[in-house]
Structure 1
C-alpha cells in the first residue's frame, strides 16, 4: 500500500497505475497462525515485516533496508534505546539515490 498522510494512503489509485518517482509504498507480508489447538505453541501467532520503498528515477530504494530483521539482531537492541541502529547509513543511502 502507499504511504502518505493517512496510514493506508491509497485514495482511488487504479491497479493499472505506474509507480512514479517520489511515491513511497509499504511491502508488508504477514504470517498469521490460526488460534486453534492443533498449532500448539504457535497458535494465534502473527507477524508482519514491513519494508518501506521509495520509487526514484534510478529505481526503487528500500528505506528500511538498514533495520534489523533477524531475531538475534532485534533481541540485541531491545532495551538498548535503539543505539544499535545505523541511521546515518540509511540517510546517506537515501540522499545518494536522487528522486
Structure 2
C-alpha cells in the first residue's frame, strides 16, 4: 500500500494505491491517520485500490466514524466498480450514509 497526500489549506486528499488489506490497514492507521487529523475535510481517493478485504472495510468504517465524531468531513471518491460491488453487497453506503461516497 502506497499513498500520496495532496494538501490544501483545510483539506487533504489521500490517494491510496494498492490493496486495502491487513497490511494496507497498518499503513493507514500508523502513517495516514496522524497526518490527516488536523484537516477539516478529507477525501479518500480509491481509484488505484483494486481490492478491499474485511480488514480494509473495518478500517474504512472506523475511519469515517472517527473523523465524523471529531467534526471532520470525509468522503470516499473514485471507488472502482468491482470494489463498489462488494461495498454495496455489504450495505456499506447505507451504513456510512449516502454523502460519504462521491
Is the shorter-chain TM-score for this pair beyond 0.5, marking a shared fold? no
What TM-score bracket applies, with the shorter chain setting the length? under 0.3
Higher relative contact order (CA 8 A, sep 6+): 2
User: Which structure has the larger Rg?
Assistant: 1
Q: Indicate the structure with greater strand content.
A: 2
